[in-house]
Each structure stands twice: as structure tokens, then as C-alpha cells.
Structure 1
């Protein structure tokens, strides 16, 4: 080949090579775009279009999976837009088409989403219970945890909602992860210590180390002191945990300022001006009004010897409120009612006596601090005391699996463990079927279940067996209690050995059907005297001023009435712990630590009627009189 031919050939070759590269690049680009277009549609991805757009794409979808996903997206949008009719129609169609595990889960999630939208959050939670997340794509898993968290939050289960968000967290990154972690921490800060500790134990049993770290750190944040060493230890065991940046341990606090004013117990017999802190606005305004009415009626009965000035504890920061109260010349404070407000009061400077209307897990003892509450823990401790006083040693507690059940178990066992006679057996249940299973396990004999033998069977053990269950306390409505007792009677058959039954205030209800009342025969029930109709005149007065009051409001009315009655006698009763007075809430006395105790009145069902176990208190509580 000539030199000229070679020169012409080389540029021609490179020109052809460039064309080939350009075409191959276009082909690659088109292939990439085609791959994106051909990616399966995510049924639970972000909603970016309206429902009609999704429906219009169904006919052009290239696969049955995409057609199904487009219908799910349309149904989600319709549910959020409130179009129940069209959303229901699509869900019915999807239910017929669903064949794969993913598709069946999608139908359940849509059902739950719509139930939640209609305010049926508990039913929605039941609809998605037990879903297997393993075959699901990331978008669906994220949707599941977000929906579960929202539903739990609507039912008041803040710790459980946080738990769902903790499970969601590994699927998020960047700003989404940051917002999710802040929401987790916000929910956990509103959880109580006992619940958090239970979640720590559960997470550790399930090997969920990161979740256990969240719950444990939240529990540390609740500690009144010693946060810094606890946090340092937590960091060693949970390095790089996302919650680290959300918590700063408090410096070791000095004794609360209010507790430093221990100049001796202030005499309360001459007090006239009283400041009352109550949540007069917000969701607690109605129960606060019942308590306020009780205070006013108590003062009226004493001849209006006291001047009450009411303050909304939600209206301004606690230091400002207390400053205002002292400027107005108050000689004593009643309240606050909310636990977090009581904590804030304890950290503030105030030199006059305080009768707080709530108790804390860890509370300062000071000469002029008094505590009065109607907590489930306090009632449970009194029930434990009664069972022990009756000579029982092996009680079984049947409690609902909720926060009230948790608090009741804590109060009962705190007292029971102090007796050094072993632990009380606690059985929790979430449904009637689960309760029947629990009863068979605890009472049904060695062949009843895998757990039989943990507690000796009543039906087969002789009466002198030291390990048999000899008492059963139920946190239940009267109907539930009668049903439970009937189930136990059937299980025990002809056995002469029977437990003693105990009920609390939750089981007290007027107007019971005759068959239910008869089924409760032999059961003992403890409650406030006036809720047992032992003070009919006082109850009639309360019904006049609070005609629409419910049972809980009447209990708060009684608490307010007794608080007003106690004011002139606070100091004397504290210095004489054995001294008592009869109140609406029970027989009142004050411990040396300033805790006001109200002993329950115990009654027993006989022939379908409640009869008094113990001497009745005076039919009318005494008017507040100066201590002599």
C-alpha cells in the first residue's frame, strides 16, 4: 500500500471507531433508561400522583404484579383522600386477585390503613398482627412499621409506638433517619420507668441490642440522680448508638430546694389562705373540676373558714406560678395534680407547706411536704396488705396486659416482697381466650400445659400443701369477675379446696344484674366507703353539684373533699401517725414522711348483696376543725 493510501486509511478508521462508540453509548443509555422503566412498581412507595392517574396506568402495565401495585397505590390515595366507596371497591378486587404472600399482606395493610382512618385503631392493629415481614420489599416494611407506630400512638401506647420506629430505623438514612430518631426519643421520654425496664428485658431476650439501648437510655434519663455514671457505662456497652446525641446526663442535683426548708413542721390549724394548682385547661380540665368541686364543698361544710384561690397549673412555668402564689400571700399550696408538674414544684423554691395531689417514684421527704393520691399502686398495696392480714401466703393476680395491669402488679409486689414470704404469682392476659389458657396453666393440674407445676394445682393438692394458691385477686369488671370465678369453679370440679377471692375498686359497680351479683358471692371487695354507698347523704350532695359525674369523677370529688377537710389537721396528724379521721376516700392517717393514707373499706358479697366486713366509718365526715 502506498504512503498516500495509508494516510487516508488511518483517519477513516478512527472516524468509523468514533461512530461505533457513539452508537454504543446511545444504546447503553437507552438500555439504562429502559431498565429503569421496566423496574417493578412499588405498591408502598411514595404517593406522588392522584388516584385517577394510578388507575389510568393499569391497562398499560406490562405485568400482573405492576397492575396489582397500581391498584394498591390508587387505593392508598383514595383512603387518604377519604373516598371510602371507591377505596372499598378496589380493596375487594385486590382481595380476589391476591395470590402471593406479598399481595395478601398488601390487602391486610390497606384494610388496616382504612380502619385507622375511620378511628378503629385497635381493630387495625389486630388486622396487621402476625404479619411475616421476611418476604416483603423495603418500601412495604417501612410502610408497615410507620402504620403500626401511628396506630399504637392513637391507642395511647407510646412506648410500643417507639418500639416500631426503632424497628424502622435501619431502613432509613440521612434526614429521614434523624427525624425518626428524634421521634423515638420524644416518645420514650414520655414513658414511665417500669414500662421502659420491661422493654429492656424483652429486647435483651430477643437479642435486639440497639432497641435495648434505646429503652435503657430512656430509663436512665428518668433517674433522679446518678445519671452521669450510668450514662458512661451505657456508652461503653452501646458505642455509636444513634441515641447518644439525643441525651445529656443531668449534673448531680442538689437536694430539691423545697426540701431544704426543713425548719420543723409548720402548724396548719390557723391556715386561711390556700392556693390550689389544678389543670383547669386541657384534657384534664373535667377531672380537675370534680376535684375542685370537692374542695369547695368541704370548705362549705366547715363554714367557709378557708379562702381558696385557684391557678391553672398549665398556664405558665412553675417558678412563675409559685412566685405569683407567694406574692398573693398564700399560706399553703394544694396541688399540682400532674406528675410532671409535681416534679417541677419539687425543684423550685417555696417555703410554705405543700399538699401535692400526686406521688413520684422517688420523692423528697421534707417537713412541710405532704402527698395525697389515688394511684393504682397504692390501692394494690392495700389489697396485698388485706390478703396477708387474712393469712394468705400464695396469691395469684389476674391482670389485664396493659399499663394499669403493670402499675397494679408493681404496687402489689412492692408490698408483698417486703414480707419476705416469696413472690406473688402474676398472670396477665389480653383476651378471654388468653385468660382461659392462663387459668388452665395455673390451676389445671400437671397435664394441663407445659407450665403446669410452676404453681401447684388447687384441684389435686390437699389443703395443707404449702405451695397451693390460696387467694386470687382480679383486676376486672363485675361481669368479668363473675365469669372468671365460674371458669375456675368448673376447672376445680368437686375439689373442696377453694381460693379466697379479692376485688378492687374497678369491680365496684351499681345496678348489677341479679345473676352477676349472685355469681360474686363470697368475694371480698375493697373501695372508698362512699363509693360503697356507706355515706348516702354526702353522695346525694355530690350528685346535686355534679349531676353528670362518672365513677372516676366521684372519686376525685372525694379526694378534693378529703384534702380540704385535712388542711387544718395536717401537722397534727403527721406528728401523730396513729391518729385517724374518717373521710370519703377511707380512714385517713398521715405517715411521718407526709404521705396521706386512705384505708379502703372491705365488703363481701353475700346473697347477691355487699355486706360490710369491718366496722363502718361515721356516716358523715367531720367538718374541718382546727387541731386542739
Structure 2
């Protein structure tokens, strides 16, 4: 519009400026504040023509832009003078802009502590996108080249809003900070559940410290970095790798511009982790949780022989009852494992095993998915395999062991526990469909061995259906079996919301007989359950892995942070940690039937065909508290 006016009309610059200003004011009437357009700052003098005619909020907005430009031009004194022309009362949007300029001015004057204080109080939601970038950049500058985890957090935030052309410089600075964090600070770092980027940077530092004195072994270093890239796909360094990871002369060839996405072979690694790291989000989340646990066991063991003690510490029960901490339980000696990673969704499992053989791998942890595990029956090679699932029929291959967190295993453990509690006649309430059939078959297989009888099985309706049926006398259809078979134990496999509906139905149908025990699977245990739920569950016993029953152990705290308090993922993470420990004792697993290990997933023993078996913790709701069930 204005190009047309200037080209076709003879107007002087003053008139043009007036027309432009009027247009801006009219165009901004629909907003709460007449903000200038978002984007990079202009030269400070570029704002003068508009300032000469602007009034009110428009003038304040222009003064703020000019002040910011003056700071950018390293002229904080002039910026301070310009700020003094502002109206004393600003609109909320302009107040945020004023706070941002104050932050930038404090940094320009070397007042970093004041800048940090101002950053904490600024109203960030009122800032436009480019101003969000200015704020993130200011926060980085406020650390004044310091190397600590908060400075690293600032660089991570800046990477999320900065222009792409700045990413390499941001990655290089992020790496400088990471590599120079003091050992004292490293020991005291607390990382929250959503800070996976920080975890990645710290793991990259571990790689750096491992290879900085052995930089000539570039193949080993390249593989370590490639495995790191697979584990941390969202870290900005996966695309823009630090240009001075060691020094420019020692940088591994091919890493200056990024990292290859293909699997690479570490000639010194003897262990490989086989997981579905691509594909559906749910499956990859499961795989990543297992790998996170595997890495946690690595980090806990350090770089040499370490006694891997899982401290029971103060359990859930201890916290609620005030009991003394439980004694420490030792799991044995483990070492740091340098391992390769293979994505089982990218290549057939048998092809991966052949590739692993050629790479000198001697032990494999995985695969996870049952179809891949079933293919292991065809494998006759020398690699020792700790599968993370189990087929319907276990192989007798002495080089294969099976480690699964299955509902069938939990049902067998429930049968053992109920029998040890003196129960002899059981009723099962299981989900409808294949899952319920599998659970019932597994329970009855064990129950028949123990008692010579089978349990009565009933299937549970969906939660909404149970709510509708709640008014009937016996919606679960269990009163008959309870009377005829003298039922003294009921095992329920249900989520907490469903169990909350089922328990009063059981009491109604059984007449509240005190000798009938109610037992539940870990499916009924979630992080969000409160005191009201515990009161409703009076007398119910449920099974859980030791890690989730010992809430003050280092393993528990780390798992809660890494898995965002998701118990289902925490159980898989515990599996990954135990898989790390078991893989280092594979020869013992297959040759010593008396093998026992206290793991995060349970008290581990070895069954037929090297099937890993777990004894779980059992916990009881008692008057709003949670108490350990003493084994009989």
C-alpha cells in the first residue's frame, strides 16, 4: 500500500510517516495492546521516524524496541535514557516487554544476579515468539559462562526456540557446559522426570571421559556415540554433533556434520541389546523403558567391579506406619557393560543374530516381542540369549534363557502365595478374552499342582457394565460357587477403578465371611491411589515388584523420575536393570539350578529350560495403611 503511495503520489517523508503510523494504530485497535510486528530488532535509529509522531501505547512500544536495539548495539547508557521516557503505567503486554528489556539491560551492565531474579518474575505468556527467543538467549547470558546443570537447562531451552542456523553454536556451547561441570556438582545433580535431554548430555560426557585419553580408538568411540544417538534421538547433538567433542584434530572422521543412523559395530563389545526401537509409540515406549533400566544398572555399577546393592530402605509400608527401615539386600557383583544396540523392527531377528556373531557378540539381551522370541527356536549359534519374553513352548537350547514380566507369571506367584496363606479353594475374577484365559490357565496349572483341584473362574465385565449391574444381588455370579465349593480365596485381576466396584460386590455375594481372602494383581496398583482408596480396600492383599514396594530406595527414585511416575513403565525399567545383572551371570543361570538373586522385579530363581521365575512382594491394606504380608 505504502509503496504504491510513494510511487504514485508526491508526498513528503513527514506525511508518509503520519500515514504509516495511523495505519499501524488502526490495525492494532482490535488487540489489547498496539504491539509492533514480531521479529528481529531493527537498528535503533530506524525507530526514530515513528517515535516522532507516535503517542500513548504505540510510543511506549516503539521506545521498548529502540531500547532493546540500543542494548544489542552495546549502548546500555542510551538504552537506559530511552527507557526513562516510558509512561509510568504500562499495559500487561508492554509490562512484559519492559521486563524483558530490563533483563537485557542488567546483563549488558554485568548485573547477572539481578538478571536471574528478573527472569524468574517475568510474565512469559505475554511475549511474542521472537521475544521468547530473546528471553531464552538472555537466560543463557545470565550464567556468564558458568558450567552447571542450570546453565545446561538454559541452553536446552534456547535450542527449542532459536533459529536453525544457530543450532550448531548452541550445541557447541551446551557441550562446553556439560564437559566442564565439576565432579562435586555432578554428584549433587537432581534431574526431573522430563529432562531426558540433560540425561543425554551427561551420558555423552561419560563417553567423552572414557575415550578422551584413548582417542586413537575411533571405531570404539564412534560406536559408543552411535549407540548414544539411538538412545537419545531428541537430543540436538544427534544432528549437530559438538564440533570439538575432544579437540578438532581428534574428532572421529564423519562426525563433524552429524552422525550416521545405521547400526555400527563395537569390536570390543560382547553384549548386544535387541529391542523394538521403532514402530508403534507404545512398543517403543516399552523398549525405551527397558533400555533405561539397563543403562541405570550400568550407571549404578560404575566402570569397574562394584557391589550392586539394592537398598530396600524405607518401603511404602514403612512410610505409612513409621516403622524402621528394612535391612539392605545385596544382589551381587556386576560390571559396567559396553554394549551394542539392534532395532528388531528394522531387521529379522535371525539376521541380527548372524550380524552380532560376526561382530564378536557373546551375549544378547532380547528380543522383547513374542514373535521374535518364538523365532529363537531356529537358532543354533553360539550366542547366549536372555530373551525378554517367553514362547508357548520353551526351547531346551542351553544357550537360551527366558525372562518375562507376564501376567501368567504373576498368577502363578499368586497361587503360591494364597496356598502359603492357608487357602485351599480359590475363585478367579479375570478379564474377558484371551488375557483372562491365559491368566486363568496359568493360575490353575500351579494351583492344581499345589492342591489337586482347579479354581472356579468368572470373567469381569467392563467398568461401565459393572456400574449398571451394581444394584443386582450377585452381579459377579459367585454366590453359588462360594457356597458349594467352600471358597476361601478370591483372586482379582483388575484395574483399581474396577476393583473399587468389585470388592463390595464380593462382600455382598459372600455375606462378608471373614475367612474369604481377597487377593489382587499388581494391575490394581497405581501411583495416584490415595487414602480413601486404601480405606475401601481394607483387607485386600496385592502383589508388587520389590522396586515399587521400596519407595525410598535409589532405584525407586530414579525410576519415578525417568518414567514420569508411570508404574507400568517402571516395571519394565526394573526388568531392564535385572536383565543387565542376569546377563553377566548367564553361565550360572544355565548350570546352577540353585541360583537366587534379589532383583528389582522380585526374588529371582531358575526354573526348567532356564525360565526366570520371580517371587513378588505381597502387601495388604489395613485401616487406611499399607503393611507387609509376612510370608508363611
Q: TM-score, normalised by structure 2?
A: 0.49
Q: TM-score, normalised by structure 1?
A: 0.49
